[in-house]
Amino acid sequence: MGLLQSINSPQDLKKIPSSQIPALAKEVREFLIDKVSKTGGHLGPNLGVVELTIAIHRVFDSPKDSIIWDTGHQSYVHKMFTGRIDQFSELRKKDGISGYPARSESDHDIVENSHASTALSWADGIARAYEQTGELKDRHVVAVVGDGSLTGGMSWEALNNIASQIHRPLVIIVNDNGRSYSPTIGGLSTHLAALRTNDMYEKVLDWGKETLLKSPIGRPVFEALHGMKKGIKDVLAPQGLFEDLGLKYLGPVDGHDEDLIENALQVAKRFNGPVMVHVITEKGKGYTPAIEDEAEKFHATGVINPSTGKPINSGVTTWTSVFSDELVAIGKERNDIVAVTAAMLGPTGLDKFAQQFPDRIYDVGIAEQHAATSAAGMAFGGLHPVVAVYATFLNRAFDQLLLDVALHNAGVTFVLDRAGITGDDGASHNGMWDLSILQVVPNLILSAPRDSATLRELLRESVKVNDRPTVLRFPKGSIVPPIPALERIEGVDVLVKQGEEDILLISIGAMAHVAVDVAQRLSDQGIGVTAVDPRWIKPLPKYLAKLAANHRLIAVVEDNSRSGGTATGISQFLRDKNIYTPQRDFGIPEMFLQHASRAQVMSEIGLTAQDISREIIETIARFDNAISEKIKKN
């Protein structure tokens, strides 16, 4: 790690002779494979942007120049060149460096939000601010976006505005590897593919590289060729889409030829207006297991064997795999079931459905808003769409869920993977707002399975509803052991019933295993407890009101924000029935959670069985003391 160890800042990177850049790139890839195989993380995307990141930091002057990484998971190399190489052993661990840009770590990091398609809007806003303050002539704004991110509508809203400001310098680098999580889908993908595969254009690029650059005047001519707006380039490649918007277009450029990338970026830097630099990269470059991966497992990995790329801990049954298998089973029984994904076929478990029913799967790209409204249209046309997304990404489609799906009573089932605390991917990936957001949506019904059996059961119940939307949510990772019900009364599963009716413990979804542990701890202290799982948490089962009226204290346990979550809905539900049993709510505080393991986060916010049982015991003690004091006074 000789060259790499000498780099503590972008200025150090600029001092490396061009002849040594290939050796540096090789060191970077070896370092990434070694470190990420031990911690887990986004290995494939970072292996693909090594030369690109080197070129960016050799041409631009971060942090004076603002470099914005769309999604941010491909920023590992950027972190290495900005003074954090010694911290990679703690990547994505508690108190270690984040897997995404983080302002708390470095002035070189700007955008922490890891949701796709936002970088261009950020870049537009920053450039406007620099223009207003008179700094734009001395500072550059660079946005690095993937071809997958350009499938998101927000990117095109931003491009429309950026292109209207033809005298405002802004460099847009499209990192085109033909993939987001899965192969990039849609018309834009076809357009970029045409650019990549146009034989005539490639011949011109080869001629420019091999012939023009040998001449003393060749480089200016080569740069001029890359900077042409219309005319010759329209004949050679169909990039007119971007230039018709008013964007200068450069490329395609080989994303693993650092010298060529530097040249293109220098041209873009000197141009006084918005420029798009189209860079072709290979996801997983230099690592055979990642290149050969067809299931996209190297987009984000767990701990792996660096030699083989195989997971160290395999064979675990996950929530996602149970959903995946059950949806296939349902699909075999019903021809009207179709599945929708937003560029996450494998991560959401829809890959098996796609294999079984290739004509009934729709990948819309990174476009959750479109997915929701398109699903409403499918429902109108007689289908029952199952839209599978991460819970955190449903935030982006709230308006469509509210006014296109729910307002029209569309029979659409949303399956929210990674709900609750996801842990090591940090603040933006925790699915901790869905239960709060969904509480306000009329007509919608919502369930949270506690184990594999209830996941299968509730999924089947969800897709039977064709006259309004349903939502099913479950967490990330391995599925919890089965938690059988003692009995089911009016739709409510009773999980534990011990002693007197002191505590009514209502668990939401996967928090059932915590609630059962709490119930045992309370029982050990001589406190009577009834632990229940309502299964459907919107609308709530009427039987909950009967239970609440007969207990001294209600405790609700959920892995969602306490602000507006299920506990809030239960409180309103009981007040509407004139039941005023005291209630304690246990959930996620109103805060952004830093990256750490799920267990560590749960411990930090007091959402463990020990914390919850202690709080309930202390609450009961205060009740008893208050009653004793009242008796004494009387």
- Which of 35, 248, 283, 521 is flagged as catalytic? 283
- Which of 105, 296, 368, 558 is flagged as catalytic? 368
User: Does the annotation count 584 as an active-site position?
Assistant: no
338 Cβ contact partners less than 8 Å away, ≥ 6 residues apart: 357, 360, 361, 362, 378, 383, 384, 385, 386
State which H helix or E strand residue 189 sits in: helix 187-197
Among 414, 435, 434, smallest CA distance to 371 is for: 414
CA distances from 607 to 449, 515, 559 (A): 19, 10, 8
User: Does the annotation count 15 as an active-site position?
Assistant: no
Q: Which two tokens stand for residue 429?
A: 């990936």
123 Cβ contact partners less than 8 Å away, ≥ 6 residues apart: 66, 68, 141, 142, 143, 158, 162, 170, 172
User: Does the annotation count 368 as an active-site position?
Assistant: yes
Among 23, 144, 31, smallest CA distance to 85 is for: 31
Helix axes 21-39, 258-270, angle to 10 degrees: 100
Within the chain, how many helices (H) and strands (E) appear? 27, 18
- Which of 396, 450, 476, 521 is flagged as catalytic? 396
Task: Order across the sheet with 445-447: list the strands.
Answer: 361-363, 337-341, 384-390, 413-417, 470-473, 445-447, 536-538
Among 365, 392, 364, 390, smallest CA distance to 378 is for: 364
Give the three-class secondary structure for 227.
helix
Q: Are 585 and 559 in contact (CB under 8 A)?
A: no
Among 73, 74, 52, 54, smallest CA distance to 12 is for: 54
- The pairing of beta strand 445-447 with beta strand 470-473: parallel
Give the three-class secondary structure for 68.
strand
Question: Residues with catalytic annotation?
Answer: 283, 368, 396
